[in-house]
């Protein structure tokens, strides 16, 4: 591992810690307010994701045209600005959308810089380190952020602001690499051409669709847990929900650590095996009704998920570096996976509003009856999600990618 990876690891750790601290700070804000409806948390998740979809044609070329270390600094400052808006009591949907814009700028540079700092044989390992440190940051950000937010929303936001600023400072130690020449013309037209170009390879199609499946599943599980934990496991606040999600994060760390030797880039199609296990563990989770089985199921889902996504990320970065640019490839990946996440979260939000909120409101159910409706609904959604993951994995794997030795997508 090249020594230049270490400042990136630290900067990414701080930024990811802050990303999740602010998420659970906003969740704590929602849980402490009786005036906000159950759809508000999914709506927050949606406005965050919309930035990735809308800005995808621009953020990839932006990351490739300028030094990616400089792009990381700009992105952290944008996220800090969104945090500042929350401190000023601006509508959370607007403020969190700005944080999402910063994250959309950050993502192509964060992953796109890895091929510049390491070589082919170490790319999966570098991704494993980034993924592991990111999940550790998510883990700590969730738990510490939620606990501080339960004590004081204001102090949680101030701490998050400091973390984004610290990440920007550490990024100054990452050397600025040469950038690609800016491509003229409409960015939307260019992005459409890149999609067509990138999808000519079955290897890149497999990686894009697999990444989209993983992140749509992860986003849905995170939203479901917020509704599921209080009625099934009797979780009372943001800290308890965060501690439950901790087991999912630990599993992803373990999976990320195991995967470099088990699924090298030359055997990318092996990634479908942990994807099948991920679907099975989600189905098992739908039948759990007590704390430790739920924790075990989340740990197993996370382990399978970590083994699934790390080699997929590495393949996308390498394919992008050799064709449309690593930043553009990550932005393209972000576009598809965030469209998938928006569809998944939006579908869950709509279904919950129709089958839970409307039923509870129109039938004037008691608190106990309302909990029973929510319990049944979330269990059925988990079961359906697990089945969808199994079917989607099978369909994606129907046309497995050609061997690694085949040509990559052609460069412009």
Which of 362, 244, 260 has its CA nearest to residue 306? Answer: 260
Residue 21 exposure: Cα atoms within 13 Å on the Cβ side: 32
Q: Give residue 358's pLDDT.
A: 58
- In a 3-state reduction of DSSP, which class is residue 110? helix
Q: Give residue 410's pLDDT.
A: 47
Q: Give residue 181's pLDDT.
A: 58
Percent helix, strand and coil across the chain, each rounded to 5? 85, 0, 15
> 5-170+188-399 has which fold?
Growth Hormone; Chain: A; (1.20.1250)
Q: Give residue 412's pLDDT.
A: 40
CA distance 269 to 206: 8
Predicted structure pTM score: 0.71
CA 99 to chain centre: 14
Beta carbons within 8 Å of 336's beta carbon, 6+ residues apart: 208, 209, 211, 212
DSSP run (H or E) holding 49 = helix 40-65
Residue pair 20/137 in contact (Cβ under 8 Å)? The answer is yes
β strands within 30-130, DSSP E: none
Q: At what angle do helices 120-151 and 153-171 cross, to 10 degrees?
A: 160
Q: Give residue 408's pLDDT.
A: 46
CA distance 300 to 302: 5
Q: How far is CA 83 from CA 32, 71, 144, in A?
A: 19, 19, 17
- Please report, in tens digits, the pLDDT of each residue of the chain (412 residues total): 567 778 888 999 999 999 989 988 887 887 776 555 556 777 787 888 888 888 888 887 787 778 888 899 999 999 999 999 999 988 888 999 999 999 989 988 887 787 777 766 677 677 778 777 887 887 788 889 888 988 889 999 999 999 999 999 999 988 776 555 555 667 788 778 877 877 777 777 888 888 899 989 988 888 888 778 877 777 666 677 777 878 888 888 888 888 777 777 677 778 889 999 999 999 999 998 888 898 999 999 999 998 888 888 777 777 776 666 666 777 777 788 888 988 988 888 788 777 766 555 565 656 666 677 777 888 888 999 999 999 999 998 876 655 544 444 444 4
For the chain, the domains span: 5-170+188-399
CA 404 to chain centre: 27
Output the CA torsion 209→210→214→215 (10° steps). -40
């Amino acid at each position: 591992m090249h020594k230049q990876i270490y400042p990136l690891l630290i900067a990414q750790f701080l930024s990811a810690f802050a990303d999740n601290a602010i998420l659970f700070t906003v969740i704590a804000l929602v849980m402490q307010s009786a005036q906000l409806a159950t759809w508000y948390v999914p709506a927050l998740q949606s406005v965050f994701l919309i930035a990735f979809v809308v800005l995808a044609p621009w953020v990839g070329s932006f990351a490739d045209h300028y030094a990616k270390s400089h792009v990381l600094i700009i992105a952290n400052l944008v996220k800090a600005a969104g945090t500042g808006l929350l401190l000023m009591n601006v509508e959370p949907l607007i403020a969190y959308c700005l944080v999402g814009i910063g994250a959309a700028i950050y993502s192509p540079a964060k992953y796109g810089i890895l091929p510049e700092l390491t070589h082919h044989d170490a790319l999966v390992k570098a991704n494993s380190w980034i993924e592991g440190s990111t999940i550790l940051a998510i883990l700590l950000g969730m738990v510490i952020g939620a606990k501080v937010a339960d004590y004081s929303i204001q102090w949680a936001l101030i701490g998050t602001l400091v973390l984004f600023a610290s990440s920007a400072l550490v990024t100054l130690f990452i050397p600025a690499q040469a950038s690609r020449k800016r491509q003229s013309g409409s960015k939307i037209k260019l992005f459409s051409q890149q999609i067509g170009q990138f999808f000519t390879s079955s290897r890149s199609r497999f990686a894009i669709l697999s990444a989209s499946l993983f992140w749509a599943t992860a986003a849905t599980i995170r939203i479901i847990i917020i509704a599921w934990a209080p009625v099934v496991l009797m979780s009372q606040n943001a800290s308890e929900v965060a501690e439950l999600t901790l087991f999912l994060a630990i599993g992803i760390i373990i999976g990320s650590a195991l995967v470099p030797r088990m699924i090298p880039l030359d055997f990318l199609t092996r990634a479908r095996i942990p994807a099948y296990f991920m679907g099975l563990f989600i189905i098992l989770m739908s039948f759990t009704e007590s704390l430790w089985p739920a924790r075990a199921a989340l740990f197993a889902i996370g382990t399978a998920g970590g083994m699934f996504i790390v080699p997929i990320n590495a393949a996308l970065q390498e394919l992008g570096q050799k064709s449309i640019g690593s930043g553009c490839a990550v932005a393209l990946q972000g576009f598809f996976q965030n469209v998938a996440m928006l569809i998944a979260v939006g579908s869950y939000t709509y279904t919950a509003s129709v089958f839970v909120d409307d039923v509870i409101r129109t039938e004037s159910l008691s608190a106990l009856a309302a909990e029973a409706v929510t319990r049944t609904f979330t269990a059925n959604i988990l079961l359906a999600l697990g089945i969808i993951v199994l079917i989607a994995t099978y369909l994606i794997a129907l046309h497995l990618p050609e061997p690694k030795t085949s040509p990559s997508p052609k460069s412009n």
